Amino acid sequence: MTVTPTTPLHPSLQKLAAVHRRRLRLLSLLLFLTVAGTLLFEMAIAFTSQDGTNLLLLGLIGLLMLPIVALLGGLMWYLDHRLARSLNTADQLLRDCAPQAFRLAPIERAGRDGVLTMLHPLASRSPTDPAHALINPSFRWSPPPRREIEVQVHCRELKPGNELVALQPDGVPLLGKVVDRTAYDRQRRVLRIAALVLLGAALAGIWVFGGV
């Protein structure tokens, strides 16, 4: 599914690309087996029972499967396109940007969005100030670090929104992006409040309609 680039990826990214392709193949196989198994199960019931209702149900399920398969195919294409774009962006950063030495320190536990870290420049007279980065914001490319490590960061500019690649001492890359800590915390608070409001509305609806 992934379009092979004209030039090979950076050596440190080739293992991630292989993992990406393997996971997509496994996901495609799982979806195919699920759809095929559902159709075979309904066909067996319809033909063994010889009931008109089951035959109509089989036809209805077959019609419903068409948009479902199309939707799943679109989602697979989007996932493949997004992850391939992340790899290509990381490859470009590794080739175009000079590495900078930083000490990467996790400051929060890993969550759904990744792990928030602090980047401290190691150079004594570095013009770069400490920055915050969200490592592995999607797909969990590599296990996030659990302690402070020294990394070589490739980034065009350490400004919020810019993507980066941090090479660990063993050469394993960490993909992420620079974030503004204040804006990041504000966004998380808004999401928590929205989740609580939705949960409260759902509980209130259950209590009101359940009591009727």
CB atoms within 10 A of CB 131: 22
Q: Up-side HSE of residue 22: CA atoms within 13 Å toward CB?
A: 7
**91 sits in which H/E element:** helix 52-96
pLDDT in tens, 130-144: 889 998 755 455 677
Contact (CB, 8 A) for 142 and 136? yes
Who wins on pLDDT, 157 or 38? 157
Who wins on pLDDT, 94 or 48? 94
Amino acid 137: pLDDT: 59
Mean pLDDT over each residue of the chain, to the nearest integer: 81
Name the residue ranges covered by the structural domains of the chain: 11-95, 98-185
∠ CA 28-84-143, nearest 5°, is 85
Sign, Cα dihedral of 40, 43, 49, 54: positive
The token pair at 74 is 């679109």
